[in-house]
Structure 1
């Protein structure tokens, strides 16, 4: 059968047109719906804070929040263009947590009479804008996250350099912990960025050394224990973590880095014995630090005997912890309502104790909802890792997600007196620009990894 040339030309044009038709962006449409929901909750929270604490609505601050919302929408548009298959839950959850945190920080600023650049909420808005711009740049520029594997040891070097920055004369700050650096009016906590660099290093290193770490060991108590010579990397990271605790007086960052490495080591090898050894080393390090270092011993004393009047009244005692617990108790099941409580009577209510502040005004129900958001965020990140097609992406996504989860556990456990309190921030919620930027960069990396995992050949005709 002979086909006319004009018919062939017509069919070819139809095929080409059909090839240009993109598959509907289901993931992005779902993300847009969730973003609208999150933005509506954030706007309502800010408005309720203004009505409850000040009695009037300040349109100026709402406009500032609107500018931040436009950056979130810009990130969504960028994802539609360059990462269409990225996970649709990560950005809405991060947006909602960031907005709730800003609303509560703003509520405390109103109570303390802080305005302009002196207000923590104004600075938090500025840092959130910087964080979102950074996330957009990562999504646009890092088209293939696997390129990070080439810079494994460079990332490790960068992570170590960030950790030692506070010791450089002239830029370190005098604080309770040597974790801040200052450049004039600009200061940040380099340890927050160091955890991302070290996660990249750990992922690349474990991919390269996994075979030796998974070699057959000794079977004992139902577990396969590694040989002594394979314990070297774990012992090195343990000693580095102890060094951070001793030199920087930063118990939280030391625990966070060590916990992240143990989790990634378990994912890389599948050996439960690594987790057992890690827990034993962490407990031994904490016990040793509590006996040798006065500030760590003080934190343990505040934890174990928090309601002792002598412990409450002494310098650096448990007054802050007790006030936070009473605030949570005052909130009860449903809370006092946004703007109706007194979270500002707890020291550092906008940073270290942001969760008790929210618990007082949103109640146990609100705290449970926030913890559920963290749980979903972490589970999506771990799911991205487990679905990864390469070991590097699997370890990186899992390590970053576990870092967020561990940081939440350390802070929530500390303010509720489940564990001793350490000097970290609650991700996305607490006032602190370094933490906010680092966590949004983690969001961007998870988006890039999830897009690579989900991407499949487009359905075309012809």
Structure 2
């Protein structure tokens, strides 16, 4: 039988919290020459929070992958450190635009609560398959809710927020992605045999039948609508990419990937030709060092400042608390990755990307080990959107692709993305528990063996 590895998980969790606290102390020593006064409070808060998450996991998902929670804790903790570091900078920004470490710690608390509630309530993730079309409807409502008059709010040029009195702004697309992945998984399980049928053969690729293109065209239209109406390139890329990836996982046909690439290229060309805000994004992407674009409102200033910061960080970085990340616009949200790169260097960024890669790898391992098609698709889809989101934001801030409105998972300040990603991790943990759990007879035999050994 596979080992539960709960003791190893607790040890790794303690190590992750210790690394975060060392980084926190390093920031204070570098900036003020003394350990931050609130270090003990933050350390005990983060440690206690993660211990509570560990106890819930050990009780309700004892066979879950032991690496996922410590890895997420480390990334989330480093995000808290960077936000604390930015809050201590003399940036000259209005107080409303400054990073708030206490607010981010509170959001982390709420995220862990949602993580725990998901594990406690959702004892069998396969129950989500019965809610396939309900999840699809909820996802679409959340996706279009920022367009509702008197509810949606436009911030930084994107209509992706809704305002709730007493709560603040919420980005519903972050929760919509979870509901839509559940819908995609349930739909593709039901339709995968039809979608896998081949039509005409073009060169070495068996194209799908024309009558089966409907779902892809609908998702393509929805993604294009999000891009055009909400000016949200990030959610558009995330939605369409997730569907194509899950379609490939379900059918194993590379022709769907080819069709997805062609549709994406056509949609990008059409949007870039017709709509001004998309043209602006491509102009910044193609000519970031153009002085006119640099000075333009919403131009390339933040992109170039991020590139300058990563360049000045070099291989090993300037050290935590010794850079100038406050010079980067939106360093605590969209551009926290370049701010981290300035102080930790290329080495630190590669280590950070490896942590993300390990989280995605554990999710894909869960997908491979799952015993039913729905679990395979759901775990694969959730792992892909996490990896895809990291690629989109890192590609944007390094000018590999046009800049989008997504944030770095678990690191950037912002409640919606952090809460949604903690729920995503809870779903992966629940599915890994089901995939690693041995059959009941094996557990019974193991228990009898231990009794006889005693």
* TM-score, reference length from structure 2: 0.94
In structure 2, distance between residues paired with 1:341 and 1:117: 20
Aligned counterparts, 1:167-178, within 5 A: 167-175=147-155, 176-178=157-159
Aligned counterparts, 1:74-153, within 5 A: 74-112=52-90, 119-153=99-133
Pick closer, same or farther for the CA change 1:49–1:28 going to 2, 3 Å: same
In structure 2, distance between residues paired with 1:413 and 1:436: 20
Selected match of 1:54 from 6, 21, 32: 32
In structure 2, the residue matched to 1:14 is: none
TM-superposed CA distance for 1:354, in Å, is 0.4
Selected match of 1:159 from 139, 142, 149: 139
For the aligned residues, what is the CA RMSD?
A: 1.7
Q: Which shifted more, 160-169 or 376-385?
A: 160-169
In structure 2, the residue matched to 1:263 is: 245
Pick closer, same or farther for the CA change 1:258–1:38 going to 2, 3 Å: same
In structure 2, the residue matched to 1:183 is: 164
In structure 1, the residue matched to 2:312 is: 330
Q: Which shifted more, 362-371 or 375-384?
A: 375-384
Gaps of 5+ in 2: 450-454
Question: CA offsets per residue over residues 10-45 of structure 1, 9 Å max, x none?
Answer: xxxxxxxxxxxxx99642122112111111111111
In structure 2, distance between residues paired with 1:45 and 1:452: 35
In structure 2, the residue matched to 1:346 is: 328
Q: Which shifted more, 133-142 or 308-317?
A: 308-317
In structure 1, distance between residues paired with 2:259 and 2:40: 50
Q: Give 3-state SS (helix, strand or coil) of 1:217's partner.
A: strand
In structure 1, distance between residues paired with 2:2 and 2:382: 30
Question: CA offsets per residue over residues 195-214 of structure 1, 9 Å max, x none?
Answer: 00000000000011111101
Selected match of 1:320 from 302, 305, 313: 302
CA contact (8 A) 2:407 2:417 kept: yes
In structure 2, distance between residues paired with 1:216 and 1:172: 43
How many residues in Structure 1 have an aligned counterpart in Structure 2? Answer: 440
Q: Which shifted more, 232-241 or 167-176?
A: 167-176
Question: Does structure 1 residue 370 correspond to structure 2 residue 345?
Answer: no
Selected match of 1:38 from 16, 19, 25: 16
Question: CA offsets per residue over residues 128-167 of structure 1, 9 Å max, x none?
Answer: 1000000001111111000000100000011011112112
TM-superposed CA distance for 1:60, in Å, is 2.4
In structure 1, distance between residues paired with 2:2 and 2:282: 55
CA contact (8 A) 1:333 1:363 kept: yes
In structure 1, distance between residues paired with 2:338 and 2:218: 36
In structure 2, the residue matched to 1:11 is: none
Q: Which shifted more, 106-115 or 40-49?
A: 106-115
In structure 2, distance between residues paired with 1:156 and 1:361: 42
Question: CA offsets per residue over residues 102-132 of structure 1, 9 Å max, x none?
Answer: 1011101100479899742221111110000
Q: Give 3-state SS (helix, strand or coil) of 2:201's partner.
A: strand
Question: Does structure 1 residue 311 correspond to structure 2 residue 293?
Answer: yes
In structure 2, the residue matched to 1:8 is: none
Q: Give 3-state SS (helix, strand or coil) of 2:409's partner.
A: coil
In structure 1, the residue matched to 2:427 is: 445
Q: Give 3-state SS (helix, strand or coil) of 1:365's partner.
A: helix
CA contact (8 A) 1:46 1:62 kept: no
In structure 1, distance between residues paired with 2:279 and 2:96: 39
In structure 1, the residue matched to 2:452 is: none
In structure 2, distance between residues paired with 1:404 and 1:34: 22
* TM-score, reference length from structure 1: 0.92
Task: Select the structure of larger CA radius of gyration.
Answer: 1
TM-superposed CA distance for 1:58, in Å, is 2.6
Gaps of 5+ in 1: 1-22
Question: CA offsets per residue over residues 397-430 of structure 1, 9 Å max, x none?
Answer: 0000000100000100010011110000111111
Selected match of 1:461 from 433, 448, 453: 448
TM-superposed CA distance for 1:319, in Å, is 0.8
